[in-house]
Amino acid sequence: MALLALAAPALAAETFKCFAPVEQKADEQVMQALPMMQNHCIRDVHEGRAAVLLPDASRPIDEVAAEKGLSGHLWGFLDAQGQLVIKPIFDAVGDYHFGAAAAKQKGKWGYIDLTGNWLIQPTFDEVQNFTQSGLAVVMQNGKVQIIDHKGVQVGEALDELVDSATLSDGVPARLRLDYKTVLLSPDGARHVASDKMEILQPFGSDGLFIARDADKGYGIADQNLAWRVAPQFKRIVLDPRNHQLALATSDDGITLIRADGSLEAQKYESVKAVTPQFWLAKSADAFTLLDNNSAVIAKFDVATVNSLSYQGDYVLDKSSKEQVAVYVPGRKQPLSLPAGSLAFQQDTGRFLITTKGDQQKVNAIVAPSGGMIGGAQSVGWLAQVADAEVIDGRLWLRNAQGITVNIVDPNGKALLTQKSMTTLDGYRIDPVNSGATNASASLPVALIHPIDSTSKSGAGFVRPDGSLQLDSKWLDIQPAADSDESDEGIKNHYIVKTAQGTGVVDEQGKILIPLTEDHISPFVQGYALDYLNKKLTAIDKNGKHYDLPNAFEFQSLGNGWFRYRETAAEDALWGIYDVVDQKLISQPVYQSVGHYSGAQVDVQLPNNLWGIVDQTGKTVVEAKYGSVRRINGALWSLTEPVVAGTPESSVFTEVVGTDAKPRIASTAGLHVTQFNDGRILATSASGQSWLLDPQGNIQLHEQQTKISAVGDWIKLSRQPQEGYLSAQGTWQIAPVIAVQSSAFAKDRALRTTGQGTELIDSKGVRIASMPTGQWYLPLASDMSISYDPQDDIATTRYVDATGRQVLSVQGKGSQMVNGRAVLTRDDASKVWIDMQGNVVPDVNYSDLGLLSDGLAFAEVDNHYGFVNAQGSFVIPPVFNAVSPFDGNVSVVSIGNTSMLIDTAGKPLARVDHECGIQVLYGAGSTRQWPQEKPERCSKPEAVSK
């Protein structure tokens, strides 16, 4: 919620300055012609009242003076004569707006009138100022409301998901609504983010998220969207190389957050992931090697850090002349390798290979478990290694000729003994690549093939323990599954060739299809081509045969469908044949045919356009698309033909079901992704989004809500809305999403959409389209303003209430009020200009305001005073900070003193910092508050001013 800045200023104990640089954005400061410095001890005057921070009226003055800083001070108000008309009894206050000021007591906010009496009792958690429409935004028990001057809610209750509401001055009143983030967990449960929480990305092992609070900074949220780590950091990021720790930055360094959300106590100057398992952190006195739990593994000096190298998961320390220390994941103490050992040229991930000597022969292998081969102990076959590859979690080592030297398992065991290597002489062994990341304890490690069948007989397996399983009757063996095969069962089967014929065995060598076939090709989509009695047939994984028509080429599409070509001609077309039902689906009319699934297949005609046919060959989706992609068994993505040079965001795609009915209509820049649970997220270039279940039913689609993926969670971000309220709290101009609007000024407002900016009246009717650019309409201004450069030159353009550009000047101009604006030139000097852009009069200052009560602030040599309409100083430039005149009074500050002055420069009141407290004096230096000074003020050594 857009809260007021109502807290007491932080005044440093050693300076107690009553002024500070303005915190407003630079463009807003220039636009409103506000001074660059602001007052603190007395705040600027609003509606004849100026907030002032003084000792608590309800406590003894000596007790207040004894507290640190200004913690014993509260807020009251001065009137335009400098009199303390509201005693300091409030914890915090806002400025007066339309007869009411926000005030806080005992942790709750309410509103007071000009006498300091409660206009609306303090019952709210957060509040904003009252606006010109007589309405204000408040928050009570987590719910945002709009109230009138009686504290009664007006209009319809706001949506419970409203996170913040901002109400502007002007009539009707602009209302912007921002919404809380909603997350859907993979089980479909709905979680609403706490106030101001923005979920950014998943983190850690406990379903945590990096999140940001708009006011407090970055933290870690749990699955219930409660803060696991309170928002307190400037940022929290993940290292691209390693997501096991999060790096949280604050003013005092980097804090590491573990994957369970706990914080490391030590803070570091810098931290980076050096391997997927180790981090290097720098502190003031040392470098520290950390593991993924932020535990300290070793400490290094600068010289040692410069000798470190990194390979795969490992860190090598070469600083010692006697040895190379190798830090292994999961081990507290490093392993030792002979001095001069270097990492192998290939990165083998969880295994480490090192070499030594001029010829860089392999001298050691370190396995993920920490087990080591070689090192200080010589192993003869290591020197033969020229190439290495990790397959299914095992390390395959080959010589320069590509022949396998050995296979090492994750525990550091060499599977091939000297005996087995002797047995395998004359054989070739090929890895069984199941695609697993970890070594299997049951599947074969490798297939054994005789290189020369005349000198060697038998083929078989290398088992996971390194033993050999050879069958002398087997002439050769190969995987039964093609690389595209999706059937997991077939992936663990093998085609075996014997003198009597060919068949299929399982991973143990058990015969599944008798070894009597002439030839069996690898299985694709559950079917293989098989020669039986010199006739080409199809065969399934159970060994059942199916006849094929007479044709030149066949390819399995799945579910018993085969595409076929009748000739070997390069441009021969494809037909479709169903071997299970023994029927022709389609004559050869297709340039290409995709994979069969869900009783449908995608086909491409000779004109290169794609469509979909069903199990009878009937066209389900007309072939008119540039591409067709299967999303899952129930949905298709259809993309229109792309014209060369067309950006991806302009290409139209639609989603249809297997019934050919649309699920998402043709949409530009549609992008489709799938979650692990089958749900589908579709997003368009324009920001629309859809969430579908695996069957294609739309679960979520709202024009005003952006749906995005956060890991396996779904993030729902409802877009902000802006509209205009009447004094009764009803919509006078209905809210619109994705717009930027201004407050109404003199019956005009700006509204910006993707199509540009327009000027509207109080009914929301467009008066005129604005010129291209970013436009502003300040409340007091006669005209709209743009700061868009023209020909790379800083320029301010002014447009009147009819949408007509009436002025363009070089530099940055303020709002035009009563025919005059402040213009900031390229050299940062400021002048006044009129509605024709003329400088009036010809004077310039380093800071300058607009005339108010006949005077304007002006700065010379870092000091402010006030000038008249002719630009001459009437109040000398002696102040560090000033406010524009309001009701013939202004607040000015010098050092640790703030004063209320009139248009003649006469002080009406002042606040000094004396002996630890703020003291208020009247026009004649008569002390107004506190009524008595602290006892310590009478001691000379305690007096400070």
Interval 418-470: pLDDT, tens:
999 999 988 999 999 877 667 677 889 999 999 876 667 799 999 999 999 99
The per-residue pLDDT for 5 is 32
Task: Annotate 316-359 with three-state secondary structure.
Answer: EECCCCCEEEEECCCCCCCEEEECCCEECCCCCCCCEEEEECCC
DSSP reduced 3-state for 363: strand
Tell me, rounded to whole angstroms, the distance of Cα 290 from its chain centroid.
26
The tokens 């990021």 sit on which residue?
237
The tokens 């850690």 sit on which residue?
204
Pair 361, 352: CB distance under 8 Å:
no
Q: How many helices (H) and strands (E) does the chain have?
A: 5, 92
* 657 exposure class (CB count in 10 Å sphere: 0-12, 13-18, 19+): middle
Instruction: Examine the pLDDT at 1 and tell me if it is beyond 50.
Output: no
Q: Give the DSSP H or E segment for 62.
A: helix 61-65
643's CB contacts (< 8 A; 6+ apart) are none
- DSSP for 252-321, please give it: TEEEEE-TTSPEEEEEESEEEESSSS-EEEE-SS-EEEE-TT--EEEEE-HHHHTTEEEETTEEEE---S
Angle at 113 between CA 108 and CA 116, to 5 degrees: 70
Pair 444, 468: CB distance under 8 Å:
no
Beta-strand pair 474-479/494-498 = antiparallel
872's CB contacts (< 8 A; 6+ apart) are none
Interval 330-351: pLDDT, tens:
998 999 999 999 999 888 989 9
612's CB contacts (< 8 A; 6+ apart) are 600, 601, 602, 603, 619, 620, 621, 628, 636, 660
127's CB contacts (< 8 A; 6+ apart) are 3, 4, 94, 102, 109, 110, 111, 136, 137, 138, 139
Interval 787-846: pLDDT, tens:
999 989 999 999 999 999 999 999 999 999 999 999 999 999 999 999 999 999 989 999
Average pLDDT over residues 321-327: 95
**All structural domains of the chain with their residue ranges:** 187-302, 442-547
The per-residue pLDDT for 12 is 38
Pair 881, 864: CB distance under 8 Å:
yes
pTM (two decimals): 0.73
The DSSP symbol for 523 reads B
* Helix residue spans in 435-575 (DSSP H): 488-491
Interval 113-127: pLDDT, tens:
999 999 999 999 999
Q: In whole angstroms, what is the distance from residue 490 CA to residue 393 CA?
A: 21
User: Which pair of structure tokens corresponds to residue 733?
Assistant: 């101009």
Q: In whole angstroms, what is the distance from residue 137 CA to residue 128 CA?
A: 5
Torsion 53-58-59-60 (CA) sign? positive
Q: In whole angstroms, what is the distance from residue 371 CA to residue 363 CA?
A: 14
Pair 308, 327: CB distance under 8 Å:
no
| Average pLDDT score over the chain | 92
DSSP reduced 3-state for 236: strand
Q: In whole angstroms, what is the distance from residue 552 CA to residue 563 CA?
A: 11
The per-residue pLDDT for 368 is 94
Counting other chains too, the contacts that 532-537 makes at CB distance below 8 Å and 24 or more residues apart are none
Interval 674-720: pLDDT, tens:
988 889 999 998 888 899 999 999 988 877 788 888 888 888 888 89
The per-residue pLDDT for 7 is 34
